[in-house]
Amino acid sequence: MERFGLKLHPQKTRRIEFGRLARSNRKARGEGKPETFDFLGFTHVCAQRRSDGRFTVRRLTIAKRQRNKLKEIRDWLKKNRCIPVAGQGRYIGSVIRGAIQYFGVPGNSGALHAFPTEICKSWLRALRRRSQEPAKLTWDRFKRIVSAWVPSIRLVQPYPNERLHV
């Protein structure tokens, strides 16, 4: 690394016990659960498969990043409230499609379903603020808008054993 002038950041770099033996080793020492780490937008967690109880790495969306993205979208909706519904729908659909493509990994369905739900709640709030009438946009009318612009949630990336043919 020195050859290329690269250094490890002391606050961002640490050694942790992680892997299939981490849970049993920490339990034997009387310590808690194995530590987690954040990498490439995911929090990596030591977990066990339900099917056979063997070790697996669970990847969850980093909560702080998801909160920040939701705040960014809410701010965008406030600033662009006057844009037609189709324009807003195109933007929101593209954001959700991107999230599905990147974060659609096995084991992350909770965060994957929560993201568009929160975006749609904010979008409904923003659309209702466009009118002087209290409940001009009903939930049934909004569901038709959502079905036209918001893609359905699905896991895009396969399980590692399927992807790597193990």
pLDDT in tens, 48-94: 888 888 888 889 999 999 999 999 999 999 999 999 999 999 999 99
Q: DSSP letter string over 62-99?
A: -HHHHHHHHHHHHHHHHHTTTS-HHHHHHHHHHHHHHH
My answer on whether 115 and 145 are in the same domain is yes
What is the amino acid identity at position 165? H
Q: Tell me the residue range of the domain where 156 lies.
A: 63-163
My answer on whether 76 and 130 are in the same domain is yes
* pLDDT recorded at residue 8: 86
- Give the pLDDT mean for 130-147: 85
For residue 42, is pLDDT > 90? yes
My answer on whether 78 and 132 are in the same domain is yes
DSSP class of residue 133?
S
My answer on whether 53 and 86 are in the same domain is no
For residue 165, is pLDDT > 70? no
- How many domains does the chain fold into? 2
Asked if residue 74 lies in contact with residue 95, where contact means CB atoms within 8 angstroms, the answer is: no
My answer on whether 156 and 74 are in the same domain is yes
Report pTM: 0.81
My answer on whether 76 and 154 are in the same domain is yes
Give CA 53 to chain center in angstroms.
25
My answer on whether 46 and 93 are in the same domain is no
Structure confidence at residue 149 as a pLDDT band (50, 70, 90): very high
Q: Which of 61-65, 126-130, 162-166 has the highest average model confidence (pLDDT)?
A: 61-65
Instruction: Give residue for tokens 């709640």.
Output: 121
For residue 124, is pLDDT > 90? yes
User: To which H or E segment does residue 102 belong?
Assistant: helix 85-103
